[in-house]
C-alpha cells in the first residue's frame, strides 16, 4: 500500500438486503479509506442500520460483496467481524443486564485477559475519554446514556481497524463531545477508519472527511461534508430542507406541576439520590432539563411518573393536588402523560401491534365491561400513523418492526393526541424526544410539542441535546449529581454556562430563583 494508491479499508459493492415488503438496501456501494472518518447519513428507515449490521456480520446480505483491506470476506457473525478488526457501537445496545460492566466488556475481548485486567483497562479508557463509568456496576442499574458509554469503551478496547459509531455523542456534554472528537481524530491519524452515523449535521461537518447519503435504501449522493451546509446535507438526505421551527413567545398560565423538597435515597446501590429538588412547570410553558445521563434523570422521572411512589407527602403536586403517593395510572387520569427514553419495553411493547400499543395510554376504543372495539382501535392507529408520517406496515405492524425514529414518532404522537383529547390539567413529560431521529422527524416532533404548549399544555422536556433545549425551552434548569440548578430563562442561558452547570458548578447563581418558588 502506498500513499498514492491506498487499498481501501472497506469496500462494499452492490449490497442488497430484502425483507418482506421492503428493500432495506438496494445495490449499495461504499468505500472507506484507511484513516478516514466517513459519515453515513440518511433519514430514519433509509437503510443505515441494516447496512452497518451487514458490515458487522449481524445480518447476511442477499447480494453484493464486502472487501476488507482489499480481500473479499464473508462476515458471518460479530465475532468474526471483531476478529477481522471491526468494532461497532449500536444505537440499541447489546448488553446482558444481569452482568456487571466489566463482565459485559470481557465477553467481547481476548479471553486470555483476566477480569481484573479488563476492569483496570475500562477504568483507564473511561478516564482517557471522559466517559465516567464504574466497571463494577450491574448493567441493569445503568441509564440508557451510561449503557452507551459501556458500548463505546468496549469497542475501543478491541483496538479496531474499522470502528462503527451509531449516534455516539447523544449522552455527552459539549466539552466531552469535543474531547471524544479529539480521540477519534487521533485514532484516524493512527490509521483506524471510522464509520460515523449521526443526525447532528454540524457534527458531521466538523468531524467527517467523507459522507455517503442513503435515501430509500439507495445511495443518493456522496460528498465532502466540510464543504456542505446543513441545508445542502438535508436536501441530500430527505430531498428538502426541514421546515423552520416556529417558536412563539410563551404565555404561561397557572402552575400545573409543582415539585418542592423532593429528596429520595437511592433505590439501588448504584443509583443517584435526589436532593431537595424544586421545579415548577406552568400551563403553556416548556421547562427544559439539561444534564449528562446518569445524574438523577432516571430517578426523577420515575418519581414524577408515579413508578416510584416514595416521594415525601406534598413534594409533588399536579394542578394543586398532592400526587406523591399515586401510581402511574392514577396520575395519567389526572392529566400527566409520559414519554420515556426507552422506546422498546417501556414506551412500547415490542411484540404488540401499533394498534394495541395505543391501549397503554388511550382508552377510547375500550367499551363497556372492557370490550375492545378492534376496528376503532385500528382506525385510531392508522390516523396516528398518517398524521405523524410514521413509516410502518399499517396498524398491525409490531412495534419492534419499526426503525427507532419511526417508533419514537408513534409514541410521542400517541401521548400528544391523548392530551389533545382531554380537558382539565394537562402535563407532558418527555425524555430524549429526538434521540437518534433524523432532522425531518426531529423537526416534526419538536413542532408537535410546541403546538401542544401553545394550546396550553405544560411540558417538562428532559434532553441531552443542548440545541434542542435552546430551541424549545422557555426556562432551563440543569440536573447534576441529583441536584437541580436554579432556573434560567432561555435569554439568560448560554451553551458555555449550561455546560459548566452540567458538572454541578452553579453554587452562588441566583438568576431566576423566584421562578421555582413562585
Digit-coded pLDDT (tens) for 165-179 = 987 876 566 666 787
Phi/psi of residue 21, each to 5°?
Answer: 85, -5
What pLDDT does 2 receive? Answer: 44
| Co-location of 56 and 180 in the same domain | yes
What pLDDT does 1 receive? Answer: 46
| Co-location of 322 and 450 in the same domain | yes
Average pLDDT over residues 92-97: 81
Answer with the one of 238, 259, 291 that is the final residue of a domain.
238
What pLDDT does 92 receive? Answer: 67
| Co-location of 268 and 317 in the same domain | yes
* Average predicted confidence (pLDDT) for the chain: 89
Answer with the one of 421, 447, 467 that is the final residue of a domain.
421
| Co-location of 107 and 230 in the same domain | yes
- For residue 237, what pLDDT band results from cuts at 50, 70 and 90? confident
89-93, 199-203, 365-369, 485-489, range with the lowest pLDDT = 89-93
What pLDDT does 35 receive? Answer: 96
Residue 244 within a domain: no
What is the tens place of the pLDDT at every residue in 2-25? 455 679 999 999 999 998 878 999
What pLDDT does 107 receive? Answer: 86
What pLDDT does 496 receive? Answer: 87
| Co-location of 435 and 315 in the same domain | yes
Answer with the one of 196, 213, 238 that is the final residue of a domain.
238
Q: Does the pLDDT at position 210 exceed 90? A: yes
What pLDDT does 6 receive? Answer: 79
What pLDDT does 509 receive? Answer: 54
More confident residue, 476 or 513: 476
How many residues are there in the chain?
A: 518
DSSP-derived letter for residue 369 is G
Residue 4 within a domain: no
- For residue 127, what pLDDT band results from cuts at 50, 70 and 90? confident
Residue 150 within a domain: yes
Neighbour-count burial of 38, counting CB atoms closer than 10 A to its CB (0-12 exposed, 13-18 middle, 19+ buried): buried
What pLDDT does 187 receive? Answer: 87
- For residue 146, what pLDDT band results from cuts at 50, 70 and 90? confident
Q: Under a CB-based contact definition with an 8 Å cutoff, are residues 177 and 166 in contact? A: no
Average pLDDT over residues 122-131: 84
Average pLDDT over residues 301-312: 96
Q: Report CA-CA distances (Å) from 85 to 48, 160, 163, 348.
A: 20, 5, 8, 35
Residue 190 within a domain: yes
What pLDDT does 504 receive? Answer: 85
| Co-location of 101 and 229 in the same domain | yes
| Co-location of 27 and 173 in the same domain | yes
What pLDDT does 513 receive? Answer: 39
Mean pLDDT: which of 181-190, 247-256, 425-434 is highest? 425-434
| Co-location of 475 and 394 in the same domain | no
| Co-location of 413 and 317 in the same domain | no
Residue 342 within a domain: no
Q: Under a CB-based contact definition with an 8 Å cutoff, are residues 133 and 126 in contact? A: yes
User: How far is the C-alpha of 313 from the C-alpha of 325, rounded, in Å?
Assistant: 7
- The CATH number covering residue 454 comes to 3.40.50.300
What pLDDT does 268 receive? Answer: 79
| Co-location of 457 and 416 in the same domain | no
Q: Which domain holds residue 174?
A: 10-238
98-102, 223-227, 341-345, 505-509, range with the lowest pLDDT = 505-509
What pLDDT does 170 receive? Answer: 62
Residue 390 within a domain: yes
Average pLDDT over residues 100-124: 89
The proportion of the chain whose per-residue pLDDT surpasses 90, expressed as a percent, equals: 59
User: How far is the C-alpha of 409 from the C-alpha of 394, rounded, in Å?
Assistant: 14
- For residue 510, what pLDDT band results from cuts at 50, 70 and 90? very low
| Co-location of 416 and 435 in the same domain | no
Phi/psi of residue 11, each to 5°?
Answer: -140, 125
Residue 245 within a domain: no
| Co-location of 367 and 484 in the same domain | no
Q: Under a CB-based contact definition with an 8 Å cutoff, are residues 488 and 511 in contact? A: yes
Beta bridge partners of 484: 479
What pLDDT does 511 receive? Answer: 40
Widest distance between CA atoms in the chain: 76
What pLDDT does 172 receive? Answer: 62
Average pLDDT over residues 367-391: 92
Task: List CB contacts of 383: < 8 A, sequence separation 6 or more.
Answer: none
Average pLDDT over residues 345-370: 91
Neighbour-count burial of 146, counting CB atoms closer than 10 A to its CB (0-12 exposed, 13-18 middle, 19+ buried): buried
Residue 221 within a domain: yes
Count of structural domains, the chain: 3
Q: Does the pLDDT at position 486 exceed 90? A: yes
User: Model-level pTM greater than 0.85?
Assistant: no
Amino acid at each position: 500500500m502506498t500513499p498514492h494508491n491506498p487499498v481501501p479499508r472497506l469496500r462494499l459493492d452492490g449490497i442488497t438486503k430484502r425483507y418482506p415488503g421492503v428493500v432495506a438496501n438496494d445495490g449499495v456501494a461504499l468505500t472507506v479509506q484507511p484513516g478516514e472518518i466517513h459519515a453515513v447519513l440518511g433519514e430514519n428507515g433509509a437503510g443505515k442500520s441494516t447496512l452497518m449490521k451487514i458490515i458487522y456480520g449481524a445480518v447476511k446480505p442477499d447480494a453484493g460483496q464486502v472487501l476488507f483491506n482489499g480481500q473479499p470476506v464473508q462476515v458471518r457473525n460479530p465475532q468474526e467481524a471483531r476478529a477481522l478488526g471491526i468494532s461497532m457501537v449500536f444505537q440499541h445496545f447489546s448488553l446482558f443486564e444481569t452482568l456487571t460492566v466489566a463482565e459485559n466488556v470481557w465477553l467481547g475481548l481476548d479471553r486470555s485477559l483476566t477480569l481484573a485486567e479488563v476492569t483496570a483497562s475500562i477504568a483507564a479508557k473511561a478516564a482517557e475519554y471522559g466517559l465516567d463509568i464504574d466497571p463494577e456496576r450491574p448493567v441493569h442499574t445503568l441509564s440508557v446514556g451510561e449503557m452507551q458509554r459501556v458500548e463505546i469503551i468496549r469497542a475501543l478496547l478491541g483496538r479496531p481497524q474499522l470502528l462503527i459509531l451509531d449516534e455516539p455523542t447523544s449522552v455527552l456534554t459539549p466539552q466531552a463531545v469535543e474531547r471524544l472528537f479529539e480521540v477519534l481524530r487521533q485514532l484516524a491519524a493512527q490509521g483506524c477508519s471510522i464509520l460515523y452515523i449521526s443526525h447532528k449535521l454540524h457534527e458531521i461537518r466538523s468531524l467527517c472527511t467523507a459522507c455517503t447519503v442513503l435515501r430509500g435504501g439507495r445511495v443518493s449522493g456522496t460528498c465532502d461534508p466540510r464543504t456542505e451546509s446543513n441545508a445542502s446535507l438535508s436536501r441530500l438526505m430527505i430531498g428538502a430542507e426541514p421546515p423552520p421551527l416556529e417558536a412563539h413567545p410563551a404565555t404561561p398560565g397557572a402552575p400545573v406541576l409543582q415539585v418542592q423538597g423532593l429528596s429520595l435515597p437511592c433505590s439501588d446501590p448504584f443509583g443517584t439520590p435526589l436532593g431537595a429538588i424544586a421545579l415548577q412547570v406552568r400551563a403553556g410553558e416548556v421547562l427544559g432539563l439539561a444534564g449528562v445521563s446518569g445524574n438523577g434523570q432516571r430517578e426523577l422521572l420515575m418519581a414524577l411518573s408515579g413508578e416510584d411512589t416514595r416521594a415525601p407527602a406534598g413534594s409533588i403536586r399536579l394542578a394543586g393536588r398532592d400526587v406523591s403517593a399515586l401510581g402511574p395510572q392514577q396520575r395519567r387520569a389526572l392529566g400527566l402523560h409520559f414519554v420515556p427514553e426507552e422506546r422498546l419495553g417501556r414506551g412500547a411493547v415490542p411484540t404488540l401491534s401499533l394498534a394495541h400499543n395505543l391501549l397503554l395510554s388511550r382508552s377510547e376504543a375500550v367499551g363497556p365491561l372492557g370490550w375492545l372495539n378492534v376496528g376503532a382501535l385500528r382506525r385510531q392507529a392508522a390516523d396516528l400513523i398518517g398524521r405523524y408520517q410514521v413509516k410502518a406496515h399499517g396498524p398491525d405492524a409490531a412495534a419492534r418492526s419499526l426503525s427507532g425514529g419511526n417508533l419514537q414518532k408513534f409514541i410521542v404522537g400517541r401521548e400528544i393526541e391523548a392530551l389533545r383529547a382531554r380537558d382539565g390539567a394537562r402535563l407532558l413529560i418527555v425524555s430524549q424526544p429526538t434521540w437518534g431521529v433524523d432532522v425531518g422527524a426531529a423537526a416534526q416532533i419538536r413542532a408537535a410539542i410546541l403546538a401542544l404548549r401553545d394550546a396550553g399544555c405544560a411540558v417538562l422536556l428532559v434532553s441531552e441535546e443542548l440545541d434542542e433545549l435552546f430551541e424549545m425551552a422557555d426556562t432551563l434548569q440543569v440536573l447534576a449529581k441529583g441536584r437541580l440548578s436554579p432556573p434560567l430563562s432561555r435569554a439568560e442561558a448560554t451553551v458555555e454556562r449550561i455546560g459548566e452547570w452540567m458538572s454541578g458548578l452553579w453554587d452562588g447563581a441566583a438568576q431566576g430563583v423566584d421562578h421555582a418558588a413562585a
